[in-house]
Amino acid sequence: MLRAVTFDLWQTLLLDTAENLRLGREARLREIGELLAGAGHAVSPAGLNLAYDHSWQRLEAVWRSHEDVGPRGQLRWMLESLGVAGAVPESSPLMAPLEAAYCEPILAFPPYPNPGALELLAALKERGFMLGLICNTGRTPGRMLRRVLRRLCLAEHLSVMTFSDEVGLRKPRPELFRQTLAALGAAPAEAVHIGDDVDTDMAGARGIGMRAVHLCHATSASPVPDPQEAVPTLTAFRELLLRA
């Protein structure tokens, strides 16, 4: 019997815009630059952009092993690229405001719920299903995403929220799925995972014996269904909402 439903976050429950991402990047780099300059470590905008891109390359390399690094580690990589890591050690009081500058732009330029997401969560919860979230994070850590989800009234429906930066591992690693289901009190055979990425969501869920539903919409990570998937697909939450 199905008792629990878990969801991916990005391109599943939440969507974003290219403009939001651009503005968030600009705000992040501007404030980091101002904080460093105020502490006597002036860096150029070009240098900041280069360091930001270089840290992303390092992050993607870590992700390929399905491991993760939180915002403090990403920020340290930027400081190394800028040549100021020695002047701003881990113990520096400047690290806290730098990390805030790195993490908080999403509050000023927030994503928005995928149409039908809130209604689907409410309907599933009303029917007695236990609901969870399993998210691979990027620049923005889980602690900030929780704030966003509360603002959007999505968090109140999610009993468990698992974020890769907090676990140190990324989907499709089975630990994230098992940890979430254990917290929900459900066995894999009693749960289904809904997400947009074949390699992380579908593979991870099915790898521990969960059922999986592939959300295939225009901006999803895997928008074209793979005929070899052999998993149910949908293009919008309204399709599930009609059944919930």
Q: In the CATH scheme, what is the homologous superfamily, with its name and number, of domain 4-16+111-241?
A: HAD superfamily/HAD-like (3.40.50.1000)
Let me know: does 137 contact 67? Beta carbons within 8 Å. no
> What pLDDT, on a 0 to 100 scale, did the predictor assign at position 236?
82
> What pLDDT, on a 0 to 100 scale, did the predictor assign at position 219?
74
The string of pLDDT tens digits covering residues 32-55 is 999 999 999 999 999 999 999 999
Which residues are bridge partners to 211 per DSSP? 192
What is the rounded distance in angstroms from the CA atom of residue 17 to the CA atom of residue 10? 12
What is the rounded distance in angstroms from the CA atom of residue 36 to the CA atom of residue 212? 46
**Sign of the C-alpha dihedral computed for residues 81, 85, 100 and 146 taken in this order:** positive
With vertex at residue 149, the alpha carbon angle to CA 143 and CA 151, rounded to the nearest 5 degrees, is 110
What is the rounded distance in angstroms from the CA atom of residue 37 to the CA atom of residue 32? 9
Q: What is the pTM of this model?
A: 0.93
Residue segments in the chain with a per-residue pLDDT below the cut of 70: 222-230, 241-244
> What pLDDT, on a 0 to 100 scale, did the predictor assign at position 227?
56
